[in-house]
A and B are shown apart, each in its own frame.
Chain A
């Protein structure tokens, strides 16, 4: 949460003057399932990036090509849409989900990471 301000500190009328200030709000605390990125399986198709409702996919340009780097856990709500749309998570022949070690994105319960 933002620090509480006095009435003299806030803009007149209580206006929100900073565009896109919601970025400061941590929605990552909502997460129940954590997406884990397995870079060796990724084909950088950018589907996860395109569909992510929270724009939590970290992408960098390598030689002018976008490469998936991982997740921004500050804003990721853990909905799992990225894992769902990932073409590497489905076997193209059988249309069934592939084994976890072959997936590019796997969803793990947040309780596995409590020690961190």
Chain B
């Protein structure tokens, strides 16, 4: 059962759960809050978190020498292999447990955090591999829709019409012309995996999904809407507000896929037009000045509505039909590496 803010405060009011203050992320960045809520949920459920970070905003600004903002076991590896690293850590833990070096009842939760660049683009193959091998870890992508650490370059996650330095809005081009990659569906296509989307606006739903991922027998992937206040060109205090708009306009539908069973966790009765989300952010303002702005918005509107309707249909169609896994109760894949 997820805890309320007050219950969590009772437990953690004088502690720093995993991440400590003093990190140099921008004021108002959503990523540390995502990390904090995820790790707090794990600790409150009796797990000791272990964190691996891919290169990205979160990594470079929490580990500036000679300081570290992490007070849990922590490992950093490059953009492309954080999932491979955490799968190794998890296997080492299993092996040590088997040899009796670690008490058998010790509960560790393995978290990997990556930005959208390290997940959608660069780290995709190692993530896919680690999920396929069935390591028990939770991958959380804080999706700020671009390579924000290096100054707003286009990534596979950047939405249509967004102004980035490598796909700028100009006379010929309207920023990024392609749609955002649907990473949740890519991950959900793996066998025996728990995939969910979360947003800061609904922390209760967020914690519920983390708890589900902790209890899930296999890998989990969680995509978190994480506002980059700097390059989304919004005010410092808008991280939660943007995520709220994203959920209400269906730009970021909250749903989960557990072994192929879809469940829309937050049903939106009267969705707001997606233009409201677009107009609230400065990164789209250059695109909005172009004559074809309305066309781009209409196309996006059509896409998000169709996607949401498809999700509802999938929820109906896959109800109580977990076609995928678990194939074997015994954890064969990781055990053969463990010894």
Question: Residues of A at under 8 Å CB distance from B?
Answer: 2, 10, 14, 16, 18-27, 30-31, 44-47, 49-56, 59-61, 64-66, 72, 75, 77-81, 83-85, 107
Given the complex, which residues of B lie within 8 Å of A30, measured CB to CB? 27
From B9, B29, B31, B32, give the contact of A46 (CB < 8 A): B9
Q: List 17 A-B contacts (CB under 8 A).
A: A14-B65, A19-B74, A22-B21, A22-B62, A23-B20, A27-B23, A27-B24, A45-B6, A50-B203, A53-B32, A53-B239, A54-B21, A54-B32, A65-B10, A66-B13, A78-B236, A79-B29
Q: Which residue of B lies closest to A77 (CB)?
A: B27
- Would you give the 0/1 interface string for B65-78, flagging 1 where the beta carbon is closer than 8 Å to chain A? 11111111010000
* CB-based contact A61/B28 at 8 Å: no
Given the complex, which residues of B lie within 8 Å of A78, measured CB to CB? 27, 236
Given the complex, which residues of A lie within 8 Å of B31, measured CB to CB? 53
* CB-based contact B24/A81 at 8 Å: no
From A16, A23, A50, A61, give the contact of B21 (CB < 8 A): A23
Given the complex, which residues of A lie within 8 Å of B27, measured CB to CB? 30-31, 53-54, 77-79
Interface positions of B from 9 to 67, Cβ below 8 Å from A: 9-10, 13-14, 16, 19-25, 27-33, 36-37, 62-67
Interface positions of B from 171 to 215, Cβ below 8 Å from A: 200, 203
* CB-based contact A20/B71 at 8 Å: yes
Most interface-central of A53, A54, A55, A85 (chain B CB within 10 A): A53
In whole Å, how far is B8's beta carbon from the nearest beta carbon of chain A? Answer: 7
* CB-based contact B240/A22 at 8 Å: no
Q: Which residue of B lies closest to A64 (CB)?
A: B10
In whole Å, how far is A33's beta carbon from the nearest beta carbon of chain B? Answer: 8
Count how many pairs of residues, one from A and one from B, have CB atoms less than 8 Å apart in the complex: 136
CA–CA, A51 to B37, complex, Å? 9
Q: Is B241 an interface residue (CB 8 A)?
A: yes
Given the complex, which residues of A lie within 8 Å of B1, measured CB to CB? none
Q: Is B276 an interface residue (CB 8 A)?
A: no
Given the complex, which residues of B lie within 8 Å of A79, measured CB to CB? 27-29, 229, 236-237
Q: Which residue of B lies closest to A18 (CB)?
A: B68
* CB-based contact A20/B13 at 8 Å: no
Q: Is B318 an interface residue (CB 8 A)?
A: no
In whole Å, how far is B26's beta carbon from the nearest beta carbon of chain A? Answer: 8
In whole Å, how far is A13's beta carbon from the nearest beta carbon of chain B? Answer: 12
CA–CA, A55 to B241, complex, Å? 19
With contact pairs A45-B6, A51-B200, A75-B21 given, residues A24 and B32 touching in the complex (Cβ less than 8 Å): no
* CB-based contact A25/B67 at 8 Å: yes
With contact pairs A22-B62, A52-B33, A53-B30 given, residues A46 and B6 touching in the complex (Cβ less than 8 Å): yes
Q: Which residue of B lies closest to A48 (CB)?
A: B5
Most interface-central of B10, B23, B27, B36 (chain A CB within 10 A): B27
